[in-house]
Structure 1
């Protein structure tokens, strides 16, 4: 998301997803509570959306977040090599999401989430259509899950039902990693 080409491609994918849902620029802007002008700038690659805005766009368009970043072309290879994974890196927050599945085709996706110290995934808990199983590989995290707040440590796992608002927070000094599966692909 650093250079203009990436911003233009992201904007084009957002515009294509909006068109596929038969939503006007104004209709989507209203759903996101942003101005049509800002949404237009995002779609033309002139403005970079925040992580929260990207998540809200994905939720509003009912598409996986990763679909806004990767080519829609099918991947024939069933193996995803460690040095050839698709990543979303948010430079201002240092959050990193790595798609472990070869693509978004099929009934399930696997994602590795790298959680920097003293950060959280969103400003408020958000929900998505997919059911999720998350496994904490390293570190300690606070999970806001519906009305509950739970501490999860290395080796803990959690099932997050569809549409249940949730948010991850790393309150520690060390990075945490979480691997999760989502079905259907919606992240």
Structure 2
């Protein structure tokens, strides 16, 4: 199957899964219903711009349309096999807990906030974030409000609100972080 036929098939699957008509896609992202239909049927290949705008209608990364292999419905992450991603400029370490599955809509990681760790810039992106502190203490600022989280505390917020995490304490902090849409830790 050619890549444009496969991309079109995936776009149609997402559109139908979200119960959207071609006209609704057109209204949301300014790609004509006719063009989307031609892409879905493999009659034409989408430009990168069109693919990006169509992906925006589903609040997803356009690369998801291009993944060539079929994704599994189940992904297991064993503790011994977890990867470790260190964010040098912040002092944050992430251990991803989720892997790619068909229809994935969340990402989860165990995160470590080292003493003195700070996100230099405020973040804001589509989706939601949920944090559950499993050890230590951390400060999270959301839309100008600073919240102190201790072991057992949790926080859930819209991620389009400006936010930042800081560990001003002498001990590291560990937390479970769950995000939508899918985030590549």
**TM-score category, normalised to shorter length:** 0.5 to 0.7
Structure 1 residues 129 and 74: alpha-carbon distance in aligned structure 2, compared to 1, 3 A threshold: farther
| 1:131 aligns to 2:124 (yes or no) | no
The CA RMSD measured in Å over matched residues stands at 2.9
Match of 2:180 in 1: 183
Instruction: Please list every run of 5 or more consecutive structure 1 residues that lacks an aligned counterpart in the other structure.
Output: 1-19, 23-61
Q: If the length of structure 2 is used for normalisation, what is the TM-score?
A: 0.57
* Higher Cα Rg, which structure: 2
For 2:68 and 2:157, locate their aligned partners in 1 and report how far apart those are by CA, in whole Å. Answer: 27
Deviation sequence 1:72-129 (CA, Å, 0-9, x none) = 9666452111111233213464421111012375111111111000111x21211111
Match of 1:117 in 2: 115
Query: Of the candidates 131, 138, 153, which is equivalent to residue 141 of structure 1?
Result: 138
Instruction: Tell me, yes or no, if the aligned pair for 2:138 and 2:165 is still in contact at 8 Å.
Output: yes
| 1:89 aligns to 2:86 (yes or no) | yes
SS of the equivalent of 1:83 reads helix
Instruction: Please list every run of 5 or more consecutive structure 2 residues that lacks an aligned counterpart in the other structure.
Output: 1-46, 50-59
Structure 1 residues 74 and 141: alpha-carbon distance in aligned structure 2, compared to 1, 3 A threshold: farther
Structure 1 residues 73 and 98: alpha-carbon distance in aligned structure 2, compared to 1, 3 A threshold: farther
For 2:163 and 2:113, locate their aligned partners in 1 and report how far apart those are by CA, in whole Å. Answer: 15
Q: If the length of structure 1 is used for normalisation, what is the TM-score?
A: 0.57
- Number of aligned residue pairs: give it: 124
